[in-house]
Amino acid sequence: MNKEEQSSWRPLIRDFYSDLLLVERRSELSAQTYCFSSEEFLHWLEKKDRALEDVRQQDLLYFLAWRREQGCVELTIAKDISALRAFGVFLKRLGIWQENYALELDRPHASRRLPKVLTVEQVDTLLDVVDTSTPLGIRDRALFELIYSCGLRISEASSLLVSNVHFDEKLILVRGKGDKERLVPFGAVAEEGLKKWLNEARPQIVGSRQIPQVFVNFRGQPLSRKGIWKNFQNLEKKSGVEAKVHTLRHSFATHLLSGGADLRSVQELLGHSDLSTTQIYTHIDDEQLSEYHAGYFPGHGNAGSDENSRSTSPSQGDD
């Protein structure tokens, strides 16, 4: 952040620090930690061109999703939430906030680790190392693009049927845990990869055989979960991006929330039976979830563009 950005809210942070020490009787270390987290939040608001007095619960949600995308661990997120609660008390006392919106934030339990997520740039790096000059390379690009863009479990990608890919509607019918089915939209990039695989590369491998699964191995047999895992390991080594196949699913959820999607929509997309499983990405009280407006999934590349976005709508759709 530059000096001009800092100077605009430095007096507020200075007063907040004094309030923590003199009114709230916090320790110097706690006051410093809370001020640092609050500065991060104010800097984020600057970048989003969002006024502090206009902040509501959903803004805090988006901020935490962004922090998680930046690689912040569970302990840091918990400290951020504590800091935002204290900052909210201060802002309400000053009349800047009508109520302390941060009180609705639910701190993560120390016993549950937050899922690792990749940045959009890391996803790009990972997918860009795929050699699409071969049929199997075309398959891998389509496969991992679809896992990321649709938030699929590895078992769901492995079992996806050709008959359940609907290009006209840009939807796939996914069979998840407990044989539960859900419809998940896909965007133009995933569509392009799937069509190239199904129409050009896959026929070279399966020939005239009728194989119901979308993804097959070099023998033309259904690609197993172990096969997907091994192929992903090769991409991990080539790209230098440390991740697991399931990390793409976690990244999908986090990027959705960063783009403005509400938790209920993300729950449907991920196929979670319990909203509390989805809530690990935000730690927001259930009572506030219905208030968050639906957004969009930015994907990677030119985010927000109809031509390049990876998911067309968050309205459909455990780790």
CA 160 to CA 152: how far, in whole Å? 10
Active site residue 177: yes
Backbone angles phi, psi at 171, to 5 degrees: -135, 150
Query: Is 233 found in the same domain as 181?
Result: yes
Q: Which of 85, 141, 249, 310 is catalytic?
A: 249
Query: Is 92 found in the same domain as 38?
Result: yes
Active site residue 112: no
Q: Which of 50, 246, 264, 296 is catalytic?
A: 246
Residue 300 included in any domain: no
Query: Is 129 found in the same domain as 91?
Result: no
For the chain, the first-to-last Cα distance in angstroms comes to: 35
Active site residue 272: yes
Active site residue 296: no
Between residues 241 and 292, the one the model is more confident about: 241
CATH code, 198: 1.10.443.10
Q: Which of 10, 177, 209, 237 is catalytic?
A: 177
* Mean pLDDT, the chain, integer: 82
Note down the domain range covering 260: 120-291
Q: Which of 62, 101, 148, 281 is catalytic?
A: 281
What pLDDT is attached to residue 159?
94
Beta strands 171-175 and 165-166: pairing type?
antiparallel
> In Å, what is the CA distance from 142 to each residue of 85, 157, 194, 240?
43, 11, 5, 20
Active site residue 153: yes
Name the one residue in this structure whose structure tokens are 């009280």: 285
Active site residue 219: no
309, two tokens: 């976005």
Confidence of residue 105 (pLDDT cuts 50, 70, 90): confident
- In terms of C-beta density within 10 A (0-12 exposed, 13-18 middle, 19 or more buried), how is residue 287 classed? exposed
Number of domains in the chain: 2
Residue 298 included in any domain: no
Neighbours of 122 (CB within 10 A): 20
What are 291-300's pLDDT values in tens digits?
A: 332 333 445 5
Instruction: State pTM to two decimals.
Output: 0.57
Q: Which of 51, 74, 104 is the last residue of a domain?
A: 104
With a cut of 80, say whether residue 285 has pLDDT above it.
no
CA 139 to CA 216: how far, in whole Å? 8
With a cut of 70, say whether residue 254 has pLDDT above it.
yes
Residue 67 included in any domain: yes
DSSP readout, 256-268? HHHHT--HHHHHH
What pLDDT is attached to residue 77?
87
Q: Which of 104, 132, 151 is the last residue of a domain?
A: 104
Confidence of residue 271 (pLDDT cuts 50, 70, 90): confident
Residue 302 included in any domain: no
35, two tokens: 């001020």
- What is the arrangement of strands in the sheet containing 181-185, beginning at the earlier edge strand? 165-166, 171-175, 181-185
